[in-house]
Amino acid sequence: MKRDSTAIVGVAYDRASKTCRLAAHRVFVPSPGDPIDFEATVERTLREWHRGYRVRQVLFDPFQMVSVAQRLEKSGLPIEPFNQTLPNLTQATSNLFDLISQRQLVLYPDAAMRLAVSRAIMVESSRGWRLDKAKQSHKIDVLVALSMACLAAVQNGNEPYYDITYGADDEEPPPPPQSAWQLAGFTSEQAAWEYKQRAWQQYGRSVRFNF
């Protein structure tokens, strides 16, 4: 909250060209005397995006973000944790590398993002590659967030509302799909969230949910 930056990246998927397109991003950099207020920065931005875009999914690093996630989920945002485990980071990094190599990633010019890319390095392990930084003081959070967003977009690109062109020619947009927690059989978002809390307490944060 006082030393590390926090980044939010929004990505859309173009099904026709099979490309990921950067739609929006924000980076919040604190100082020792001015720590990040998650409610006034991250939470506020995500609520604005939820009103301005068709937000299909929000992935977040659970570290220091659980209370924000609880409030956003109660407000109807489709938010779920993306734990920063080696398998998850390796998958996100590999997907981002493939998109860049195959020229399937469309970005708009941004000096701060370009700087983050220049400071990022690839670290190899027995399970594959993951993003890292050459110096501890360097900030590459926006690049990590981009890799998470692109992974979600590629994995869910065939679903409604992930495609950037979905409904573009329709006179009226189609109704939104039923909420994931409803499809899972829960009677309310609160009941679904309480179920997640019990599971995380019993089995750890590595447990993933589809609702």
pTM of this prediction? 0.69
Q: Which residue shows structure tokens 């998958």?
A: 91
**CB half-sphere exposure, 48, CA atoms < 13 A:** 12
- Measured CA to CA, the distance from residue 93 to residue 130 in angstroms comes to 5
Q: Each residue of 172-204: pLDDT tens digit?
A: 444 545 566 676 677 777 777 788 878 777 777
Sign of torsion over alpha carbons 185, 191, 194, 198: negative
Strand partners, 20: 13, 105
- pLDDT at residue 161, rounded to an integer: 54
Domains and CATH numbers, the chain: 6-177 (3.30.420.240), 184-211 (no CATH)
Q: Each residue of 94-147: pLDDT tens digit?
A: 898 899 889 999 988 888 888 888 888 777 766 667 777 777 677 778 888 999
Q: Each residue of 55-75: pLDDT tens digit?
A: 888 998 887 788 888 888 888
What torsion do the CA atoms of 83, 86, 87, 89 make, to the nearest 10 degrees? 70
Instruction: Enter the tokens of residue 180.
Output: 């994931």
Closest listed residue to residue 38, CA positions, set 49, 28, 50: 28
Q: Is the pLDDT of residue 49 over 60?
A: yes
